[in-house]
Structure 1
Amino acid sequence: MGLKKVDNAKLMERVFSQYIPRPFVAYLVDLYSSVNVSLIIKNPRKTKFGDFKPLKKSGWSQITINNNLNEYGFLITALHEFAHLLVYEKYKNKVHPHGSEWKKVFKKLLLPILEANKLPEDIQKPLLTSISNIKSSTCYNYDLYKAILSRDEPNNLCFLEKIENGEQFQFNGLTFVRGNIRRTRFLCTELETKNKFLFHGLAKVKAL
């Protein structure tokens, strides 16, 4: 269930001021208030940071974003989903969701953020490098994803990549042993069942 629904510029400014870095608030407000879109801030979802869908009966669109993202994760997700909206308005469902049309629009939306030169260097650099070949998810840009996740509030978790092979860790209440890396993912064994799973190196786990 949505926590906040935003349908006008004044409320959008209030929400974006809470969730993204201040230098970019005006830019996001201008974008989101230029179209008929409802912005809904939702409780965390495990499978996505945000999403877009057209509300065909009303003629509006809906964008949802998870409320647990840090300010840079929220910023990039908001632009990612807004790119989907613009592509849908032009092409409807005639193009691939993360095809060349979406990449072109997302790149155009990111350029003012990059040109402002107000992002932290460890976020600015990988984002700038990836602009020529934008991925469908931030997760697929390892350096960018790591820089964003590193700004989450401190807790007792760590990145899986920081754990040595053969060491145990907990994830979602289960205990695993870290194995060798396969490209960007680690092959890990769940202790009780001996089943094997691939984990992203930036999965947040509890070291044992």
Structure 2
Amino acid sequence: MYAERASRLTGAVVWTHTPGPSGAGRVLPDGCMDLLWHEGRLLVAGPDTRAQAGGGPGPWAGIRFFPGTAPALLGVPAHELRDRRVGLSDLWPASEARRLTARVAAAADPARALEEAALSRAADAGPPDPLPGRIVAALAAGRPVAHTADTLGVGARLLHRRSLAAFGYGPKTLARVLRLQRALTLARGGVPLAETAVRAGFADQAHLSRDVRELTGVPPTLLLGGGTR
């Protein structure tokens, strides 16, 4: 069973998941990074460019960071973790990773302990860089990449470089991922696929189907049958 709630950390989501008999399902690209707790280990899930297996059996807990915010909190550029799941001890000094692991292991609610750790890191990091959030807002609204660069007053190369560090991939890939998420929200709300394609920013339903297959590995009709988050 999967459950989530809004975090006290702006834009983040705290979640828990215990896979059922049919397995853990698949995790779809969403532009986010997660800090995970599973079987006594802390892991970082990098930004995905394709669907990933949901992980091993047993309970999971995590905090999913809003796109572009995790690198400043975790201390690693997003592109270094693209399509990867890495132990936190491989990213942080051993003593820091051990302390947080012990704190989460001792907590009655591991998800809340992860949230507290993220809030503490955010307080130490200071005010967030506003540019990644502005990039997400523009691309999530369906703005073309060139228009986004012009609106934000940055050149195409700088936009690409900043996107790699913040999101793990360039703005064109981020735009595709955000468009996929728009389409899934519409389709799961009962909007027919042809209308979903138009409203989400695809050329047509065939374009939607191709993108969904490339990013998730399954056609839209199967994807919406469940087993994803």
If the length of structure 2 is used for normalisation, what is the TM-score?
A: 0.30
Q: Which has the higher helix share?
A: 2
Structure with a larger share of its residues in strand: 1
Q: Which has the larger radius of gyration?
A: 1
